Every structure is written in structure tokens, then in C-alpha cells.
Structure 1
Amino acid sequence: MSRSPRARRGRARLRAVALIGIDGSGKTTQAHRLAEALTQAGHPATYHRNAGGRRWLGRVANRLGRPDAQRLVGRQGMLAVESVLRWLAIAAALLRSLATGRVAVMDRYSACQYASIRAHGGQRWERLARLGYRVFPPPQVTFLLAVDPAEAYRRIEQRGTDHESMAYLTAADTAYRTLPECPSFVLVDAGRPADEVARQIEDHLAGWLAATDTPSGPTVVDVIRRPEVDPVPVEVSL
């Protein structure tokens, strides 16, 4: 008799979890919370920000008198730089996880690069990106944080650190939903309050953690719902 997927998850060791989605979906907030919760529940985890350098290059462009990164290096150049920098960030995160044995909580993964390429109209780059990124194993769980582009736009404007157009956010939302990997993603309604989003993520991961959580210690549920948690190592890449 075959075991259920949930039973099989409970007997496996969680190694990598990815959170993906459009800008403004709350990936960074939820990835930090998840890494802290897993650590406090007895599953040491490290947060990894696998950015593609677009924001950093945008600041460089502004200092050089250009409005954004794409105006500095061109669309094709931006996609190439972004693909390489994200590849390096993911590679470093996976190697660090392998060396330390900690769960890698990935804020962005390879799917984010494929979606970025599609949203920027550089489809011919996607095939090359997939060739390069196929060396990376898929995370055991990938959460797609889905949020209405209008709400994502509001959040981005409110934080005031960067800017994205509604056209791009809408295109990126479509790109994520049309990726061939999309059926394997765990869809999370990221338009809700952060506590509710965290609870949905935790509920799905409970099956992976049940085999090693002990009744005497705090569970991942307790920690996610408790605001006071100790910081965990953070791996930041450009």
C-alpha cells in the first residue's frame, strides 16, 4: 500500500523551501518569518535573499544619470546580468545549506528568473536560463505568493524604496501563473494579513515537520504565531 504524500513528507528531512511571487507579494517578510519559526521549532534554517541585482543596478544607474537599470545596460543586458547574479546567489545558498545542514529558506528561486524574463519580453533568454539553472534541484516546497497586482503596487509605493509599473506587475503575475512548473507550486493567498499568510505556509509544512517535532518543545505553529523570536543567520546577495 502506498503512503500518502503528507505521510511521505513527514518522514523526509526538509532541506529547502522557496517563496516566489511578484514584487509586493510579501516574499521577504514571509521568508524571514519562516526561517525564524523553523529555527525556534528545532529545525535550524537560514534565510537567503536570491536577488538578481536589479534594484542595486538601478541605484548605480541613478548615480550615473539614468532613470533605471534597463536604460543603463539595455533590456537584453539587464536580463543577462540578472540571470547570472541570481544563479550565483542560489548556488551560494545551496552550498551553504549543504555545508551547514540548515534548511535553506529561499526568498526567490529559479522560477523568479523565468518569470522575470517572460514579463520583460525576453522569451528567447528563457531557454538559456533554463539550461543554466537546471543544475539546481527544485526545492521540496515552493510557495507562490499570489496577490492582486494593484495591491502589490500599493505596497511597493507605500514602502517607498523602489518602483514598479502596473503593466510590469500584471505581466509578472501572468508569467508566474503560466510557467510549466506552476502546477507544482503551493498557491498562497498573499493578499491577506501577514499572520494569516504565515499560518497557511506553516499548515502546509506541518506534514514535513511532524516526524521530528516533539511534544515537549515549541512547534512551528507556536513560533509563527508568537512575535518574539530570536534572529537567525541571514545570507544576503545582490
Structure 2
Amino acid sequence: MAGDGRPVAGARLRTVALVGIDGSGKTTQANRLAMVLGDAGVPAVYRQNAGGRAWFGHLARRLGRADGPALFGRVGMLWVESVLRWLAIARTTLRSAFARDIAVMDRHAVDQYVSIRAHAGGRGEWLARLAYALFPAPDVTVLLAVDPRDAYRRIEARGTDHESLAYLSAADAAFRSLPESPRFLVVDAGGAPDEVTTAVLAALRPWLPPVHLPPDLDPDGPVTPARRPESPPRSSAPTRRSPGT
């Protein structure tokens, strides 16, 4: 991969990370992308790099608390989330090192940096970066860009968790302020799932060798998976999947 994020001639795509604010469609699109590529003969597998915030939010509500920070405190929740995401990325990186398929990652380290910036004003980000520096950056990072107001409506509609519009706006700004942001492939995630999947595939086309890119991945209309995406694998701190996740 070139220093500006462009593909290097002859390089094989190994890892793609889909990142974005909550409600941007990361889980849905990572599942769909892995399925569409696999059905077209391009070996690809979904990998979840969850931090457990949604799972702990569910646990907190069952215990009569508002959310995860109400259980651990805001700083404590960020530490828990950082550790769980580090472990998830470690597992994904290890699997990818011995696999020949494309790892389509649902979130990556930059999601944690954004969480720290939006929840804690960036305090402690240097420590997270030190820990996550052990992992190679994804070959391609796709930022699913969505208006925070639309993301808020999606989250409220799925009814499994809650984020304030203020936080979503802060997270959106944080993604664009990251030093990694110039390398992101930005895809408009405000449309219907099929439209977003089509846009993600179009953005990834330069990284997919023509010999591995069947004609049906360059459609005139939106891409619809031939099969319903499976539920993401369960982790020690699973998150729920929904059309707007």
C-alpha cells in the first residue's frame, strides 16, 4: 500500500476495516461486503472488533443502571472498551496472518481513538495508541459517513441502545480530525443498505485485482447479497446487529 493510501501494483488486499460513528452501518455493511465478495468467488470473511459498549449497556439496564459508564464510570468504561477491543483486534490480526482470505473488519483501532476523543476529550489517547501500535493498520479503511442526525434516528429505531446527538456529532468530528483520516476511503452511508454496499465495492475496486473481480461486482444497480448475512460471531463482549448498526 502506498503512503497516501493508494494500492501498490501487485499487492494483495488482506484487510479492510469499516469504521464510523454508531449508527453508520458498520456491522451491517461488513457482513454484506464479506458475503458479496465470497459469493462472487473472492475469499472474504467477516471479523468483529467490538469493544463491548453495547453489551455492557444492555447489562447495565438489566441491573437498573442507565448504561455502561453508570457501571464503571466514564473513564472506567473507556478502559474496559479499550482492553476488549485490543483483544478482539489481536485475535483478528492473528487469524489474518494465517488466512488467505480478505478480513473484512467491523471497526478497528481508530474507532477507539474516536471514542476517547468524544467521551474524554482525548485524555489517555496516547496510551491507547501505544497499545494499539502493536497491530498493523488495515490495508484499507473505509469510513462510512452519515449525518449524525440520521445516525441518531437509526439508533433510536433499533431500540437496543442509546447515544446522544451531541456525542454522535462529537464522534463525527473526531473521525475527521484523526491523523489517519487522509487515508480513509469515505463512503456516503446515508442511503439504503444495497446502495451503500454498491458504493463500498466501487471504492474498493482498485484494490481488487481484475482477475478476482467478476462482472457481477460492477452492476448498473445496487448490490444485493444472494443470501441473508449471518449474525456476527459472538465475542466475550458481543454487540447486537441491526440494519442501522
Quick one: percent identity of the two aligned structures? 57
1:161 is aligned to 160
If the length of structure 1 is used for normalisation, what is the TM-score? 0.89
Q: Which letter does structure 1 place at the counterpart of 2:16?
A: V
Aligned residues of 1:27 and 1:107 also touching (Cα < 8 A): yes
Equivalences for residues 64-103 of structure 1 within 5 A: 64-103=63-102
If the length of structure 2 is used for normalisation, what is the TM-score? 0.87
Q: Which has the larger radius of gyration?
A: 1
Q: Does 1:128 align with 2:154?
A: no
Aligned residues of 1:46 and 1:233 also touching (Cα < 8 A): no
1:14 is aligned to 13
Aligned residues of 2:146 and 2:188 also touching (Cα < 8 A): yes
Question: How big is the shift at 1:71?
Answer: 1.0
Q: 1:16 to 1:236 in 2, by over 3 A?
A: farther
Equivalences for residues 30-179 of structure 1 within 5 A: 30-179=29-178
Alpha-carbon distance in 2 for matches of 1:7, 1:20: 19
2:223 is aligned to 225
Question: How big is the shift at 1:229?
Answer: 3.3
Alpha-carbon distance in 1 for matches of 2:29, 2:67: 28
Alpha-carbon distance in 2 for matches of 1:167, 1:225: 33
Question: How big is the shift at 1:210?
Answer: 2.5
2:28 is aligned to 29
Equivalences for residues 187-202 of structure 1 within 5 A: 187-202=186-201
Q: Which letter does structure 1 place at the counterpart of 2:190?
A: G
Aligned residues of 2:75 and 2:120 also touching (Cα < 8 A): no
Aligned residues of 1:50 and 1:236 also touching (Cα < 8 A): no
Aligned residues of 1:48 and 1:105 also touching (Cα < 8 A): yes
Alpha-carbon distance in 1 for matches of 2:199, 2:51: 27
Q: 1:234 to 1:14 in 2, by over 3 A?
A: farther
Provide Cα deviations, 1:41-84, integer angstroms capped at 9, x if missing partner.
22211111211111111122222221111011111110100000
Structure with the bigger percentage of helix = 1
Count of paired positions: 232
Alpha-carbon distance in 1 for matches of 2:84, 2:121: 17
Question: How big is the shift at 1:234?
Answer: 4.8
Alpha-carbon distance in 2 for matches of 1:85, 1:181: 22
Question: How big is the shift at 1:141?
Answer: 0.8
Question: How big is the shift at 1:233?
Answer: 9.3
RMSD (Å) for aligned C-alpha atoms: 2.3
**Matched residue SS, 1:161:** coil
Q: Which letter does structure 2 place at the counterpart of 1:118?
A: R
The answer for unaligned runs of 5 or more in structure 1 is none
**Matched residue SS, 2:190:** coil
Alpha-carbon distance in 2 for matches of 1:85, 1:149: 25
**Matched residue SS, 1:124:** coil
Question: How big is the shift at 1:90?
Answer: 0.8
